[in-house]
Amino acid sequence: MEGENTKSKQLYEQAKKIISGGVSSPVRAIQPYPFYTESAQGSRIKDVDGNEYIDFCMGYGPNLLGHAHPEIKQAIAEQLDNGWLYGTPLENEVKLAEKVTDAYPSMDMLRFVSSGSEATMSAIRTARGYTGKNKILKIEGGFHGTHDSVLVKAGSGATTLGKPNSKGVPEEVTKHTLQAPFNDIESMTELIEKNRDDMAAVIMEPVMGNIGPILPKENYLKEVRKVTEENDVVLIFDEVITGFRLAMGGAQEYYNVTPDMTTLGKIVGGGMPVGVFGGKREIMDMVAPNGNVYQAGTFSGNPATLSAGIATMDVLENENVHDTLNKKGDEIRSCLSDIISDAGLDYEVSGISSMFKVFFGKAPTNYQETLKCDKSGYFDFFKRMLNDGIFLPPSQFETNFLSYAHSDSDIQKLLNAYESNLKQS
Ligand code: PMP
């Protein structure tokens, strides 16, 4: 919480001198200074000044089971006893790959990498290698990480900071990236048909999580599947956020739509750095050493990550995590809607499963509508919530995440804080 001489403030002053922007990822640069974390357990995160918050950011999604889950912790600890980087294959790689391909029948084969960005970069390269074509189509406001070809009208921090297009990315690269609005099958169809001869892939978040959550309209994903199939365009579902969240099999299971390729991250590594890309056998066979699409990584298939991932999958298989969270998510969204209407505000709630957000404006259906929401009003609200001990992602465009560690009393506190702080908006 803000104060004149907090340790967080001092650390940020120091950091700004030696770390660009003071942070390792831009949305963390909360002004006037971010809180510096000392520890986190279950649903709580504690800062270096002794303040404790109920955390609905959850590391921006990976901590589906909460912070420091005992089974994940034990799995990592056991791995540490045996060393944590080999540069060789290991049994747990095969074990986790089996669990992931079982949950995602669309993935005959996969590859482990170290981040969601690496996963989407590699998936796009593989799709281009497979089709021999150059162009990709992404959705406006979709966020697929920080490599050159997807930093066009990108969501997440890029939109929060008003920098959806990045300097330093050559036009020669982005000219191959086309954009269509979410939930608009006509625009997508037109672009695909017009560029059919050179269109390698459509990459999209099936539920938009980086300017949202924004849900697909009924049948939209099925129509996307149809038009990509008819035009021999590889359909990549970027399920870095939705994977293992909406259901064990992600949004593709939830909406019953089968992509050609999938990217995963976040939850599949149990909170350790991770990415996965995979898909149809004939596509994944293009990747080196089998094929000529090059992809590699010193930390890919990292032993500690694999252990954390397997422990996470075990909990998801053995406990009723998704049903529980999806129900609680429904309750939260319905209570928030009531709070908004009781307060007579012109706001709307959006979300699905364990993702929820109050939009300071109408719940958007695409990027252009998102930009109409009251970004700075939201930021003031975020700060009031923080003062009341609730940590939400600091942007109108980042979704809030409920975890399995949140108790009913945590949720009640959240709703009480929404009620009192929305009234002041
Ligand atoms: N794709 C999506 C849908 C994401 O939400 C993110 C990160 N929030 C990424 C890709 C990039 O993942 P990472 O930050 O692990 O590189």
Q: How much of the chain, in percent, has pLDDT values that exceed 70?
A: 99
Q: 234 — phi, psi (to 5°)?
A: -70, 125
Per-residue tokens: 124: 């796009």
**Comparing C-alpha atoms, which of 87, 395, 404, 143 is closest to residue 263?**
143
Distance 80 CA to ligand 1 centre (A): 26
Note the pLDDT of residue 163. 67
Cβ neighbors of 369 (< 8 A, separation 6 or more) are: 362
Cβ neighbors of 281 (< 8 A, separation 6 or more) are: 108, 109
Alpha carbon 114 to chain centroid distance? 14
The terminus-to-terminus CA distance of the chain in angstroms comes to 20
Q: 338 — phi, psi (to 5°)?
A: -65, -45
Lookup result for tokens 């990027």 = 367
Residues near ligand 1 with C-beta < 6 Å?
60, 115-117, 120, 143-145, 156, 205, 209-210, 238, 240-241, 265
Note the pLDDT of residue 162. 67
Prediction pTM value = 0.97
Alpha carbon 316 to chain centroid distance? 18
Mutate which of 63, 113, 144 for ligand 1? The one with the most ligand atoms within 8 Å of its CB, which is 144
Per-residue tokens: 403: 């975890």
| pLDDT, tens digit, 9 for 90 and up, residues 46-86 | 999 999 999 999 999 999 999 999 999 999 999 999 999 99
Note the pLDDT of residue 393. 97
Where do the domains of the chain lie? Answer: 7-68+320-423, 70-317
Note the pLDDT of residue 1. 59
What number of other Cβ atoms are within 10 A of residue 190's Cβ? Answer: 13
For residues 194 and 45, give the distance between their C-alpha atoms in angstroms, rounded to a whole number. 50
Q: 389 — phi, psi (to 5°)?
A: 85, 20
**DSSP category for residue 69:** -
Q: Which residues of the chain fall below pLDDT 70?
A: 1-3, 162-163
Instruction: Kindly report the CATH number that applies to the domain delimited by 7-68+320-423.
Output: 3.90.1150.10
Note the pLDDT of residue 424. 83
For residues 314 and 159, give the distance between their C-alpha atoms in angstroms, rounded to a whole number. 36
Distance 61 CA to ligand 1 centre (A): 10
Mutate which of 117, 263, 274, 276 for ligand 1? The one with the most ligand atoms within 8 Å of its CB, which is 117
User: If you take atom 13 of ligand 1, which residue's CA is the nearest one?
Assistant: 116
Residue type at position 372? K
Q: Is the ipTM of this complex over 0.95?
A: yes
Ligand 1 atom nearest to 25, measured from its CA? 14
User: If you take atom 12 of ligand 1, which residue's CA is the nearest one?
Assistant: 116
| CB-count exposure of residue 389 (10 Å: 0-12, 13-18, 19+) | middle
For residues 216 and 22, give the distance between their C-alpha atoms in angstroms, rounded to a whole number. 36
Q: What is the DSSP string of 88-117?
A: S--HHHHHHHHHHHHH-TT-SEEEEESSHH
Q: What is the CA radius of gyration of the chain?
A: 21
Instruction: Kindly report the CATH number that applies to the domain delimited by 70-317.
Output: 3.40.640.10
Per-residue tokens: 274: 């991770």
